[in-house]
Every structure is written in C-alpha cells, then in structure tokens.
Chain A
Amino acid sequence: MNKLSFRIGGVHPADNKFSRERSIETLPLPKTVYVSMAQHLGAPAKPVVAPGDKVKAGQVIAEPGGFISAFVHSPVSGTVKSVSMRNDLAGRPATHVEIAVEGDEWAEGIDLSDTLVSEIRDDRQTILDKIKACGVVGLGGATFPTHVKLNPAPGKKADCLIINGAECEPYLTCDYRIMVERPREIVVGAAIMQKVLGCRCVIGVEENKPEAIAALRSAISELGYRDMEVGVLKMCYPQGGEKQLIDSVLRRQVKSGCLPIDAGAVVQNVATALAVYEAVQKNKPLVSKVMTVTGNCLPADRMHNYRFRIGTPLSFIIEQAGGVPEGAAKIISGGPMMGKAISNLDACTVKGSSSILYLDAESTKRKPAGNCIRCGKCSDACPMGLEPFLLNRLYKAGDIEGLEKNAAQDCIECGCCLYSCPANIPLLDNVRQAKAQALGAIRARAAAAKAAAEATKK
C-alpha cells in the first residue's frame, strides 16, 4: 500500500513506544489543583473567580483575554483558595487559580455518560460557539485556540481537514491509546470539524500504529462517513509537524510566511478531535486529558497512560506513578525531541501537557560541542529545507538581515539538526534565538509599515 511522507529532510529516531499496551487509567484527584491562566497560545485568560468561591467541575473560572485566547474551566469541584502567581515548569511566573478539591461534583448540563452521540444536530455557528465556550485548544502541543483555527479569515477556504494522529515523537503513546480506545468519538469529532469547514477529511496515522489504523477505519465504516479516510504515514520524524503533514497528505507546500489555510488545509490533533466531540456532543469542557508516563530508565510495570484533570501538580502524578526512577537524569514534559526539561516539579499540568518522560544520563546529557566540518547532515535533516549550520554562523555574526534571507523564521524547532549533528553543536538552541531575532525584525517592519499607512490616511 502507498505510504505517505513529506519530501524534505526528517530523521529516524527509535520510536521506543514502550507504554503502548498500557490502557488509559484515570488518575485519582489530588488534594489541590493549580490552574494556569496561560495554558494556551495567545493572551492569558482573565480569572473571574475570587478566593472563597465554590466552584464545580466544568465551571468557567477564567475568560479569554483577547481574540486569540481561550476559556479556562475548573477541572474539579471545591473552593478557590487563591488567585496568585506561581511558577510554571520552566520556573517562570504565571497567574494560577488554586482550588482545594472537595468531592467531585460537575456543573449542570454536562453529559458524563460514555454513550456515543454520533448525530450532529448543531449548525456551524453553534458548533464554533460550543468549542469556544468549552475552552478547546490544539492538543498537539502548540495549544492554539481551536475555534480560531476552524474559522478561517474571509476569502480563505480549506479543502481538506487533516486529523493528526502521527504521534511521531518517540516514547509518547497518549494519542495512540485514545485512537485505540475511543476511535468512534475521534471520528465523530473529526466529522463535526468537517461540517464546520465543509471539506473532506484525512486522518494521518504513522505505520507503527496498525491497531490505531484498523480501529479508526472500522469506526469510519461503522458510522458510514464517506468523505473521511485514514492515511497511512511513513515512520519519520517530524511526520506530525503541521507543514510536514500537509506535504505528506496533500503534496502541497506551505509557503514561507503563510499559514496552512493558505495551502487549503486545516490540521487538528486527534486529542483535539476528541475534545471537540466532548465539547459539542457532551457539552463537556476541556478539563481532562491523557498523558504518558514513560522513559528509558523506568521499569515497564511503572509506565502508564493516565487521564488526568488539568491543573494536577506534576509532583502528584510522579508520586502516583511510583516516584522518580533511579538513574533518571532528566525529566521532560513532552517528547524527547521537542519536549522541555522540567526544572520545577511543583509546576502543574496544563492543556498542552502530554507526558512525563524520564531519560537516563547517557541518552540525554549533552556532549561537548566540536567544530563544524560542513558535512551538511543538518541541512539534509531539516524538514523545512533550511541550512542550520549557516543560520548558526549568521546568528553568531549577528547578521539579522542574513538570517531573514535564509528563512530562519521558518524554523519549526523540531530538533532534527541537533539530533543529526555529529559535532554536537547546539544548533537548535542558536537557531531558535535566530528565529526570534528574524521574527522580531519582520514584526517591527510590519508595525512600522502599519503606522506609516495610518499616518498617510490621516
């Protein structure tokens, strides 16, 4: 059968999906949750509760702080203890709402049953409103508000909705588990988004998940969706990158500086599809999610796929999973390629949390950097067709114009360059800085042009 893949670059790390057979367990409720107001891309949400308020699970506790922002709901029932600054997993302060858990009472109108509701009764606008009201954001990692993505600017039309089930990051199995355990819900969620966009749909799944592919296919045929199919993707990192997936499925490239919608595609994660299903059909806000606890120094019986309430402290999850294993040198939130090392275990889970990954010293410690020998492995590996070694040099020389010309702003920070560099040069670290500088220059110019245009209008 024809397997799809993107055409430029990519690397092949071992997939290490050790926890694939562990079915999803529901994590017990912690004593206290801390819900961050900055757990989506865009403006932080504004809290609408005060200390002492009683809240129920699923109740709104914060409103969007701008156009690109999202509602935040209480994940538990209990009493609001404080609304204060607290450090996130990178040690940076963000406003958190602290809620002491009392029982597990849900707000009214939320359907908690497991019965499948496949009939889509709502019209387009109602669906969008429901998605917005339930605080659904992209769960593939970027946490971009879903209702904004599903509502393209006037004049732009999507002809294909791609559901991202690639899960190309090694170790992670949370998306795999929901595809195997809840394929029908995902398919209905995809159909809901299809109705909003009015286009066909492809669910992309990497070939190393045959059970997921079979489960989704049977769900589609069972529900009789005609415009929906499962695309089998080759195993290659970063297959689940938005622009890579569009290339794999549609053979279209997203131009530099353009959005996927400009190539006629909208990409949503499978977990997002599930969240959309729950929001629209069950009226259930995004207050829980699945995460993987795994690693290469963790005994197999201590690996888990947990459904957790958003805001649960990381330390609580670690404790439930039997503590930090011996030999762990780094604890990472997310996959080994794009995840972030956690410097603060007191931090809390957010909508984008997808794993707790323990890696040993050998596989994670950086080796001393050598000199670049211009072997070009990083350029071969870069899925965006950039030249990381060149960007690295331009960054060191402070040549922002050169960075922009060489498209540093197009970097997706996938880490293929760093993974492939035989000299262990911290390419990604520097290119990430370079990208920020190039984007800064582009934004400053756009702002200046806008100001000039307004001045001439007057």
Chain B
Amino acid sequence: MSNIVILTVVILTVVAVLLALILFWVSKKFRVEEDPRIDEVEKVMPGANCGGCGFAGCRAFAEAAVKAPNLDSQFCPVGGNETMKKVAAILGYEVKEQAPRLAVVRCNGSCENRPRTNIYDGSMSCKVKAALYSGDTGCQYGCVGCGDCVAACQFGAISMDPSTGLPVVDESKCTACGACAKACPKGVIEIRNMGTTPRNRRRVYVSCINKDKGGVARKACAAACIGCGKCAKVCKFGAITIENNLSYIDFTKCVACGQCVLECPTGAIHAVNFTPKKVQPSPVKKEETNE
C-alpha cells in the first residue's frame, strides 16, 4: 500500500519537474522583447482604464507614449499634470502643463424651469428615450434625465439630483475623462476648463443648448438661452458667440469677469466658485424679450 503512495509521489514529481523545464525553455525561447519603460509608465498611470485619453486603456497609453517622439498629443485627464510630469520624467520628455478640466452639464431644465408636457414610462435609458421622441418636456435639446451619464461615470462623480431631475457633477471627483459626454445622446455635457487659469476654479458657462428661437425656447423652459445676444455685446474679451439662437462661451478666452451673468435675462449663464457678492446682485430686469 505504501508503495503505491511513494510511486505516485515520485511520478508526479518527475512530471512536474519536466513540465517546469518545458515552461522555462518556452518562456526563454518565445520571449517578447518589450521596452521596460512601458511597464514603468504604466505603473505611474492611474490604472482606471477609462479611455478618457483616447487609448484603449492605461497600458495602451503607455505603449503609445514610449513610441511617440514627444508627449504633445497625449494627456491623461484622470492623472492630470501630476501624472504627466511623472511620465515625462521616465521618458525624458518635456510636458506642457494643462489647465484642469471637468464635465459641465449644460442644461437648466429643472422640474421648475421646464414643465413636463407628457409622461414617459418606457425604458429608463437616455439613448432609448432620445431615439423615441423629443422628450417629456417642450424642449427637444436638453437633458432627458434617465441617467446614462451616471452609469457611464467610473469615478462616481455624477449623480442625479432628484429635486431638479438633472445630473450634478462633483467637482472634486470628476476627472474629465469624457465618458459621460460620450454617453449623452443629446450632447448636453461638455468637457470645459475648470477655471480661467490652472490655479483658480472660477468658471462661467451657458447652461443651455436650446437652438430654438427665443420665444419657443422660453415657452419650453424659463431658464433657456433665448439667443438675445446681450452677453455677447457686454463681453469685452470676444469670448461669446451667438449661433443658431444659442450663446456659447469660449473657455479659452473667458476671464470670468461675470458681466454676462448679470446681463442674461433668463439666468441661462451660470457662474461657479465666485465669491457670493460678485454674482448675487440679481435685480435683473424681468422683461419679456421676444427676440
């Protein structure tokens, strides 16, 4: 009986050693030569594999970075300048500092501003809802509120605010990977600079993408951009353009002076991270503009 046990152990040991030798030989023979810097770069990457940089994942980013002659065309939005500095140090490249960015929800259509005109009871998916019809409000451009962006965010930075029915971006968690912007069938979300300089966090944006004429837009939503052009007139920096009845603020030109915010008759322009007294004076004339 003990003979069988010993025999079994011996045979299995011999087989194991033989197989180990074969594996060792194969690993030497068929070894793929790889730049060791790829591993090093991958280590300093955030490892989120979100695809925000435009590559399939952090490894793909690292491979491309090692191959490329410089780092001008690559940027990791999740790791930001810190990570890029580390990558540059490993590869010996120069890297330009980029202003931090974040996702901005450009819709004001809260339950209060934008009354519901019908009830949607279909599949709770923005894509499905947007493909079916113009949505359950009078505005066919704005957020449809099923939360595809929330599902797309890997960082838990977007949540739906039940009181407004709109998504809210958490500034501290958002990495500007752009997954939410891609997931939104209406194109409501835009990736914009976090502040006017890499240091400050003050920003101004038009929180609306309604391209209808003023009267139509206003009827659908009390806080819609009506394309009146007052903001463009008051802007000294040429940052504001009006196209298709919609104002757009170029964040590379905007200095966050806040003049347009005071001028906007519907409150479609939002200012974030301003000291309260600068923006608060809003005895804005409540006149009816029918432009």
- Contacts from A to B (Cβ < 8 Å): 87, 90-93, 340-341, 343-344, 365-366, 369, 426, 429-430, 432-433, 436
Give the distance to chain B from A147, nearest Cβ to Cβ, in Å.
Answer: 30
Q: Are B127 and A91 in contact (CB under 8 A)?
A: no
Q: Does B162 contact A (CB under 8 A)?
A: no
A90 x B132 contact (CB < 8 A): yes
In the complex, the 8 A-B pairs of residues with the closest C-beta atoms, listed nearest first: A91-B134, A426-B123, A90-B133, A429-B123, A429-B128, A343-B118, A366-B121, A343-B133
Bound CA span A344–B121, Å: 16
Q: Sample 22 A-B pairs with CB under 8 A, ordered by A number.
A: A91-B133, A91-B134, A92-B133, A92-B134, A92-B140, A340-B132, A340-B133, A343-B117, A343-B134, A343-B136, A344-B117, A344-B134, A366-B121, A366-B122, A369-B123, A426-B122, A426-B123, A429-B122, A429-B125, A429-B128, A433-B125, A433-B131
Known: A429-B128, A433-B128. Contact between A91 and B135, CB under 8 A?
A: yes
Docked Cα-Cα span, A340 to B131, in Å, equals: 12
B residues engaging A (CB < 8 A)?
A: 117-118, 121-123, 125, 127-128, 131-136, 140
List A contacts of B121 (CB < 8 A): 365-366
Q: What are the residues of chain B within 8 A of A343 when measuring CB–CB?
A: 117-118, 133-134, 136
Q: How far is the CA of A103 from the CA of B118 in the complex (A)?
A: 36
Which residues does chain A contribute within 8 Å of B134, judged by CB atoms? 87, 90-92, 343-344
Answer whether A426 and B128 are a contact pair too, CB < 8 Å, given A343-B117, A366-B121, A366-B122: yes
Q: A343-B118, A365-B121, A426-B122 are in contact. List 19 more A-B contacts (CB 8 A).
A: A90-B132, A91-B134, A91-B135, A340-B132, A343-B117, A343-B134, A343-B136, A344-B134, A426-B123, A426-B125, A426-B128, A429-B125, A430-B123, A430-B128, A432-B128, A433-B127, A433-B128, A433-B131, A436-B131
Interface of B is mostly: loop
Q: How far is the CA of A348 from the CA of B133 in the complex (A)?
A: 16
Q: Which of B121, B125, B132, B133 is the most central at the interface, judged by chain A CB atoms within 10 Å of its CB?
A: B133
Q: List chain A residues, Cβ under 8 A from B131.
A: 432-433, 436
- Look across to chain A and name the residue whose beta carbon is closest to the beta carbon of B117: A343
Task: Give bound CA distance, A91 to B135, whole Å.
Answer: 8
Cα separation A426 to B135 with both chains bound (whole Å): 18
Max chain B Cβ within 10 angstroms of own Cβ: one of A90, A365, A429: A429
Residues of A within 8 A of B132 (CB): 90, 340, 429
Q: How far is the CA of A263 from the CA of B135 in the complex (A)?
A: 40
The answer for the CA separation of A365 and B121 in the assembled complex, in Å, is 7
> Are B140 and A93 interface neighbours, CB within 8 A?
yes
For the complex, what is the distance from the CA of A344 to the CA of B132, rounded to whole Å? 13
Report B150 CB to chain A, min CB distance, Å. 16
- Bound-state CA distance A341–B135 (Å) is 12
